[in-house]
Amino acid sequence: MTGRLPFQMPRLGIGTAPLGGLFEEVTEADAAATLEAAAREGITYFDTAPRYGHGQAEDRLGRLLAPAGVTAPLISTKTGWLLRPRPDGSPGEVVTDWTESGIRTSLESSLDRLGRSSVDILYLHDADDFPEEVRRTAYPTLLRMRDEGLVRAIGFGMNHSAPLAAYVAEFEVDVVLIAGRFSLLDHDALGTLLPLCVKTGTSVVVGGVFNTGLLADPSPGAMFNYRPVPEQTLARARRCRELCAEYGVPLAAAAIQFPSLHPAVGSVVVGCRSAPEVTANAAASRFPIPDALWRRLAEAGFVPPELVPAQKTVPVGEQAAEYAAADPCRRDHAAGPARPVELRGGPGTAV
């Protein structure tokens, strides 16, 4: 048991918005290969939502997880929005519906696509601007569905820390998903949300650790929080990469592992659309990072000083070779930058 959760969160999970075709289509073969790579890496947590590809991400998880060899997956999905297909069955509108009927209809449709009778976590998706609807119907419905065994844990998934903290303060929340607000470049969640979650026993899942790709590859034309990166922010990301390189650590490894320095964080999810991306992200999550680097990053303002771990000695040779081997495009840089891909925008809180 972790806080309010009746289960232990895996440290690394896969966000499935790319499997729903976010930014570019993913073939059925590539989707299957992505999940097969997850199985090989021992990844069992998958975050999805009806809005990811108008149900396509959930449908692919439902059909492809078992053949991929993923056993006992932990799945989170989201609710609060209903899919309205066109008369010909093609994707149409996505509309908010926070009523009990809407919440239940959304979950029933998700369960049908996922081929499951229940899910492990159900988040209210981007409920930032709907506090009255959440109080009146949405949150009470989640409580009832948890009591009924349709979900094991309930929470909220958002891109903004302040409204998420407000919900954690008002309600008993098992787990929250915060995207893009706890990274090497953005510590917004540290102000109120994360300390509050420690106090309430609410587990935190962090998405958006690359801030829409910038911390995966800080190059001109990169995106930062779904927008073109400002020059000053690009310079900061490049400085962060330089500091990591001084210690032989890929920037992506520091980006993926940074959120777990905080005791409230139970899991990090990264969006993947191919097997090589899964392999590279998994390798980055295991890459040993010396405490001296965390201290150096803290001195430069990339890591809150209070989160720097106690000093210890960490060997890096074998893991550096593993990381390079996991990324065929960067094998000439055993400790060079990573190529894990993160979403560059999309339908709400997307990972």
Residue 152 is classified by DSSP as E
Cα separation, 185 vs 61, in Å, equals 32
Quick check: is 139 catalytic? no
For strands 81-84 and 93-96, give the pairing. Answer: antiparallel
Main-chain phi, psi angles of 198, to 5 degrees: -60, -45
Catalytic residue among 45, 52, 139, 167: 52
| Nearest Cα residue to 121 out of 209, 212, 13, 194 | 13
Alpha-helical regions (H) of 27-71:
28-40, 56-68
Cα separation, 55 vs 32, in Å, equals 16
Alpha-helical regions (H) of the chain:
28-40, 56-68, 100-114, 131-133, 139-147, 161-170, 188-191, 193-200, 231-246, 251-257, 275-286, 291-299, 317-326
Cα separation, 163 vs 308, in Å, equals 27
What interhelical angle do 100-114 and 56-68 show, nearest 10? 40
> What is the number of residues in the chain?
351
Decide: helix, strand or coil at residue 98.
coil
CB 71 within 8 A of CB 102: no
Cα separation, 321 vs 315, in Å, equals 12
Question: Which residues form the catalytic set?
Answer: 52
